[in-house]
Chains A and B, each alone.
Chain A
């Protein structure tokens, strides 16, 4: 197991390097850029000072050299400083990461906690009314534009009913609250973002679980289990589900990049102070060091997620030895 882990970690290093090269290339080989955004519109900036600024950030050097320098610093875990506010990128990321992990973690929990039983239930009632209802609901679920749903929910729960806060992670008066009040405040801010970001995944994972279950319950060993006198629920939830979940485990790994890197739509809508919004803000401002930092951390988490999925898979399927 340990050898497998080490091998996988070593194998993901070149992938990580590849990702940084692609990201770096996109940033530096495309027209436009940091200085043009911040200077072109400003009549007080002379071409001379633009050049000086570019030299200051090393932007006047050839791209491969810039990359080599950046990579050299990365090896010392130095992501550089943000162009925007001169703060270390590492610091900016570490203060944003917990909010994103909290949001993604809770949505993942919600997705798997709800989607799997729903998928199993639908498969148990294959082609009956409950199954048809769940099928239609899942199609609606993954066809709804989530930002639109978010908008409608914010309007309903935030504005019309006034039950839930619609933006940020805490209220203005958060620091004045009791510990219990702080917890409740966080929870209230989490409800809408978690539900909305789980929504699409909920539909697709439950559909996927249902399809896997339907395939598994055609297997001979399910018939054997029934013929031994086991009740239907035990056969479904123990014998069939364990087999049907194997492919779902892989999906967890694949869902991670979406939840971590793709969260910027939700984070922007709900003004959630996470990595997604950091990525959005830094891209909009051509803040190269921060973009690169976010890309490295995001890709790193994704690769870790894939390895985790492999390990879980190996643990769940005795036929695979690592």
Chain B
């Protein structure tokens, strides 16, 4: 009854929907410079707050800029915030978790107590402070979201390492004189990647949501650089006259986050055998 990974993946309709959404948004963002009908920064005050039409598919904003072009370029920003932030979180989380889980003992104790401390600071509060004090620019936002998002990952990786480090192939590598670094990264890590991968997928969804939330408070990527968050934020003041300025970016954020969440859930079902084995008894 064993099917191939892709065969099983395709049977999960929701996961496929997620993958299609994610792929579509990535492709649209990559192709933004070629797809955009207008320059996203060009203002045309004669064309202020135009509803969607044949020349401006998604209408224009309060400066007469083309919303479609701004959305396409904003997508690049939102997606790169998600990817870079999760990348940073991934590097820190994997290293911290790997060291704690691999060495165990007091190293593990010390590291995990420190993680506990970080976990007890409300993440959003920490982010708020860091952004206010360091200033809200794209790089800071990516780094800050990444710096505050690694704790869950490190716990996950630690748990994997705690079980994997007693495997025979690790003992064999140790006996052959491999260095700790080599064992951690070459022998154990590849076997611990499945849950990390799933968690990273959810992490991207979370980071995109977080950036837009921060933009909403004026703490995200700053205008005139377009991000979905700040298009929505400046649009909300015109919500009664220009509904598309609120609706379009909100929907874009929603669909992207939905895509990553569906994809992550599908991957988890496939990669985590606990959830897909056996039948319920009742």
Contact = CB atoms under 8 A, between A and B. Distances in A.
Direct contact of A and B (CB under 8 A): yes
Interface of A: 14-15, 18-19, 22-23, 26-27, 30-33, 126, 135-136, 139-140, 142-148, 151-152, 155, 159, 211, 214-215, 217-220, 222-223, 225-226, 232, 235-236, 240, 257-258, 260-262, 264-265, 268-269, 279-280, 283-284, 286, 291, 294-295, 298-299, 302-303, 306
Contact of B122 (A136, A214, A298, A306): A298
A33 B239 CA distance: 35
B129 A291 contact: yes
B117 A15 contact: yes
Interface string B120-133: 11111110111011
B114 to A, nearest CB: 8
Contacts of B135: 32
B122 A257 contact: yes
Contacts of B187: none
B250 A26 contact: no
B274 interface: yes
Contact of B279 (A15, A148, A218, A306): A218
A283 B214 CA distance: 14
B14 interface: yes
B14 A135 contact: yes
B233 to A, nearest CB: 9
B172 interface: no
B133 A151 contact: no
B129 A283 contact: yes
Given A279-B125, A279-B128, A145 B212 contact: yes
B254 A215 contact: no
Contact of A143 (B113, B121, B257, B275): B257
A242 to B, nearest CB: 14
Contacts of A261: 121-125
Interface string B249-274: 01001100110011001000000001
Given A14-B113, A139-B14, 16 more contacts: A19-B120, A30-B133, A140-B258, A145-B254, A148-B253, A151-B246, A217-B281, A218-B279, A223-B281, A264-B125, A280-B128, A286-B133, A294-B125, A295-B121, A298-B121, A302-B122
Contacts of B121: 19, 22-23, 257, 261, 295, 298-299
A284 B131 CA distance: 10
For this complex, into which size category does the number of interface residues on chain B fall?
35 or more
A191 B82 CA distance: 32
B89 interface: no
A280 B217 contact: yes
B19 interface: no
Contacts of A152: 246, 250
17 contacts: A15-B117, A18-B114, A19-B117, A22-B118, A27-B133, A31-B134, A143-B257, A145-B213, A151-B239, A159-B240, A217-B282, A222-B281, A225-B282, A264-B217, A280-B217, A283-B129, A294-B125
Interface string B129-150: 1101111000000000000000
B282 A235 contact: yes
Contacts of A257: 119-123
B276 to A, nearest CB: 10
Contact of A211 (B205, B275, B280): B275
A302 B258 contact: no
B278 A218 contact: yes
A268 B120 CA distance: 22
B162 to A, nearest CB: 19
Contact of A151 (B118, B205, B236): B236
A231 B250 CA distance: 46
